[in-house]
Amino acid sequence: MRRGLLFLGIIVMTGCDTPPPEYRGIAGQRITVGQSTFDVRHDGDKALALRVNTEWAPRPEAVMPRARIAIEKSTGCRVKRMDGDQVLIEAKLDCGGGPSGPVQTLEYECDYNKLYRGKVELVCKPGI
């Protein structure tokens, strides 16, 4: 019985950083923004940010702005729309019609301030 539970646990844990089928075979770029680390995959005008680090009870209001920064940094495109949860974030991109790919940008350390009614303000400072 214990072996069965151990095997099941290993199988479940191997899926924790596996992208959905439509992004399989696309290499991910690992990017850390603030306390969150994402594997970002880009395919045409869409992207996927998969949070791969452990955080204690992260709120979407904190993770989503970090995911936006990671996606824009990785793809070189502007995020038009995002959807998802604290772990898996999909984005629709505006790449301006030209070729897209990783761009050179500054590193930023980001945090958020709670405002009101669930609103937050993202505060970023250039990293060292």
Condensed to tens digits (0 to 9), the pLDDT of residues 49-83 reads: 999 999 887 888 889 999 999 999 999 999 999 99
Handedness of CA 104, 105, 109, 110 (dihedral sign): negative
Nearest CA-CA partner of 95 in 24, 43, 19, 25: 43
Provide the whole-model pTM: 0.64
Asked, for residue 98, whether it belongs to a domain, the answer is yes
User: Into how many domains does the chain fold?
Assistant: 1
Q: How far apart (Å, rounded) are the C-alpha atoms in residues 106 and 90?
A: 23
pLDDT tens, position by position, 78-120: 999 999 999 999 999 998 865 445 544 556 677 777 777 777 7
Asked, for residue 17, whether it belongs to a domain, the answer is no
What would you report as the CA-atom Rg of the chain, rounded to the nearest whole angstrom?
A: 16
Q: Are 11 and 44 in contact (CB under 8 A)?
A: no
User: Which residue range is the domain that position 84 belongs to?
Assistant: 22-126
> Does the structure show a pLDDT above 90 at 23?
no
Asked, for residue 1, whether it belongs to a domain, the answer is no
